[in-house]
């Protein structure tokens, strides 16, 4: 679980420093990991819902 907390912090860091597209790309890479837990999905969805307000994120999360 600790590893995924670091991954989520890195996604937030990418969002602040490089923008939404960079954090989205990293999320797509991370979710392909066989060890990825639901925590990553929930945290990314909450971040997208609260911060982005962008409807193109929702299809991304629906295709899981």
- pLDDT 10s digits, 1-51: 578 788 889 988 999 999 888 988 999 898 898 888 888 888 888 888 788
Q: Pull the structure tokens for residue 45.
A: 């969805």
Indicate left, alpha or beta for 33 from its phi (over 0: left) and psi (-120 to 50: alpha).
beta
- pLDDT at position 13 is 92
The whole model's pTM is what? Answer: 0.72
Q: How confident is the model at residue 58 (pLDDT cuts 50, 70, 90)?
A: low
- pLDDT at position 25 is 92
- pLDDT at position 54 is 66
Q: How confident is the model at residue 56 (pLDDT cuts 50, 70, 90)?
A: low
């Amino acid at each position: 679980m600790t590893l995924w907390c670091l991954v989520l912090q890195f996604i937030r860091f990418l969002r602040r420093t490089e923008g939404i597209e960079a954090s989205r790309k990293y999320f797509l890479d991370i979710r392909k990991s066989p060890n990825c837990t639901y925590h990553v999905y929930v945290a990314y969805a909450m971040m997208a819902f609260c911060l982005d307000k962008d409807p193109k994120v929702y299809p991304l999360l629906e295709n899981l």
